[in-house]
A and B are shown apart, each in its own frame.
Chain A
Amino acid sequence: MAKNTLSSRFRKLDIDEFDENKFVDDHDEAVDNQGPDATEIDNLIRIGDTMTAFQLALRNPPLNTKNPAIKERALAIVLRVLTSFKSSDIEPAVKSLDRSGVDLLMKYIYRGFEKPSDNSSAILLQWHEKAFAVGGLGSIVRVLTARKTV
């Protein structure tokens, strides 16, 4: 008895992987969006056209891919756009989105919350407030229940 209890190798086994009734989500890898185009968006931010940069950044979200690099890249671009906004411009930008756009924006906002940087939290909270005013609790619930994350 003493010998076996010393070994903790079994604790590295993920027992759920061996469960025959395990739920495997059917993932259609078909359409693989590559995320927004960095160069074009950088140009738009430089000339100050944050609204168009915002519209472009939310196009082609990499929802289907399992590659984390693509998702990180897309997230970085979107966060750069969001942090370059002035507070007064946030509300019209959110108003220009449709329901799925607001849901997508909420997903990016929460991803942005995960790794706070020096000045991102304040502006992200303002984005969150405006997006919540349009999307309500439902948009946040859809961020929590979404299986295709951004």
Chain B
Amino acid sequence: MSLHQFLLEPITCHAWNRDRTQIAISPNNHEVHIYQKSGNQWVKSHELKEHNGHITGIDWAPKSDRIVTCGADRNAYVWSLKDGVWKPTLVILRINRAATFVKWSPLENKFAVGSGARLISVCYFESDNDWWVSKHIKKPIRSTVLSLDWHPNNVLLAAGSCDFKCRVFSAYIKEVEEKPGPTPWGSKMPFGAVLAEFGGAGGGGWVHSVSFSSSGNRLAWVSHDSTVTVVDGTKGSTPSQLKTEFLPLLSVLFISENSVVAAGHDCCPMLFRCDDGGSLTFVSKLDLPKASITRNISAMERFRNMDKRATTEDRNTALETLHQNSITQVSIYEGDQRDCRKFCTTGIDGAMTIWDFKSLEASIQGLRIM
């Protein structure tokens, strides 16, 4: 597990390029900083300054090498690298509230932006006019959209929002793609159709993050009432919910067809397993602190503590986990969603940590990723 502390500012969001040599992060301000890996260090190589408000989402398309960013200024920009400089193209989203989340589709011909305007803006490039056009999905979203994830078929889009529901929409744009075949979520998919809706019913909390599995048959989401839920589209539509005893989780990711990693306000990534019957169980926390070595405090240190902190004990105020504040995003570092070998977390403490399943399986007793 390697932790890299970028700066002291929180990392609002991050995105990796295809070969993981560069990372784009936003240090809780209007800019995106791109860091290039050089040996064991990260060196800042570019600063993308165009937004007028805090950046809320970044996504880096691996194949076409374009970056899309969205911000609280209600805008989104698509950045392309030309002659070593990242050039922005404004995308008119037609929203009257901040954008909250952005994600490229698997084929990278469209991207979806969630916003506080209670709608999702699906944008595609119209080559005749040489600009990005946006289409809105409004009904039946009743509050801010917090998170989005694309289905591997490039058409279906899962959205988690503050109206306590997780929904699967169709984002089929006839100008850029063929009609999709039937899926376990449905067969008729006109643009904006709701294929499935989960949650609400008087319980639940804001849905912070959603994730499709690599096959697209399973959908997982985490919500503010400290629960993780998984639903299997091929096995009917009853979701399997696990009420955890942790603080709410903020980000969730499928790392194999049966395993889910989630992290949040407990500053620690957790592993959950979803078996073939579709039921969800908690496996383990992935950040187990090593046994703390009790140091013998010297007399000098004791008096210094008495003077500074009015205490004679050696009280360490740091958290036992690697991250010192909530983790806001989990992403795949090595592998893909079918078989992930390493994943990356960033959080409010401004640190980025890369977790390796091989060393996790070795250090945590009985841990096996399936």
- A residues sitting closer than 8 Å to B (CB atoms) are 21, 23, 25-28, 63-64, 99-100, 103, 134-139, 141-142, 145-148
Contacts and interface: CB of A to CB of B under 8 A. Distances in A.
B200 A141 contact: no
Contacts of A136: 244-246
Q: Which 7 A-B pairs have the closest CB atoms?
A: A136-B245, A138-B226, A145-B205, A148-B202, A138-B245, A145-B225, A141-B226
B163 interface: yes
A9 to B, nearest CB: 32
Contacts of B226: 137-138, 141-142
Contacts of B248: 141
A141 B202 contact: no
Interface in B165-208: 200-205
Contacts of A99: 243
Most buried by A among B163, B244, B246: B244
23 contacts: A21-B118, A23-B163, A25-B202, A26-B200, A28-B201, A99-B243, A134-B245, A136-B246, A137-B246, A138-B243, A138-B244, A138-B246, A139-B245, A141-B225, A141-B226, A141-B247, A141-B248, A142-B225, A142-B243, A145-B204, A145-B225, A146-B203, A147-B202
Interface of B: 118, 142-143, 163-164, 200-205, 224-227, 243-248
Contacts of A135: 245
B142 A146 contact: no
Nearest to B142: A23
A27 B200 CA distance: 10
Contacts of A28: 201-202
A100 to B, nearest CB: 7
Contacts of B142: 23
Contacts of A147: 164, 202-203
Nearest to A26: B200
Contacts of B205: 141, 145
Contacts of B118: 21
Contacts of B201: 26, 28
A25 B163 CA distance: 8
A148 B142 CA distance: 19
Contacts of B202: 25, 27-28, 63-64, 147-148
Contacts of B247: 137-138, 141
Nearest to B223: A145
A134 B142 CA distance: 35
Most buried by B among A25, A100, A138: A138
Nearest to A138: B226
Contact of B143 (A23, A26, A100, A141): A23
A65 to B, nearest CB: 12
Nearest to A142: B225
Contacts of B204: 145
Contacts of B164: 147
Most buried by B among A134, A137, A145: A145
B151 to A, nearest CB: 26
Given A99-B243, A136-B244, 13 more contacts: A25-B202, A27-B202, A28-B201, A63-B202, A64-B202, A136-B246, A138-B227, A138-B243, A138-B245, A141-B205, A141-B247, A147-B202, A147-B203
Contacts of B200: 26
Nearest to A133: B245
A145 B203 CA distance: 8
B203 A141 contact: no
Contacts of A142: 225-227, 243
Contact of B203 (A21, A137, A148): A148
Contacts of A21: 118
Contacts of A23: 142-143, 163
Given A64-B202, A145-B205, A103 B243 contact: yes
Contacts of A26: 200-201
A58 to B, nearest CB: 16
B141 to A, nearest CB: 11
Most buried by B among A23, A136, A142: A142
Contacts of A146: 203, 225
B162 to A, nearest CB: 8
A150 to B, nearest CB: 12
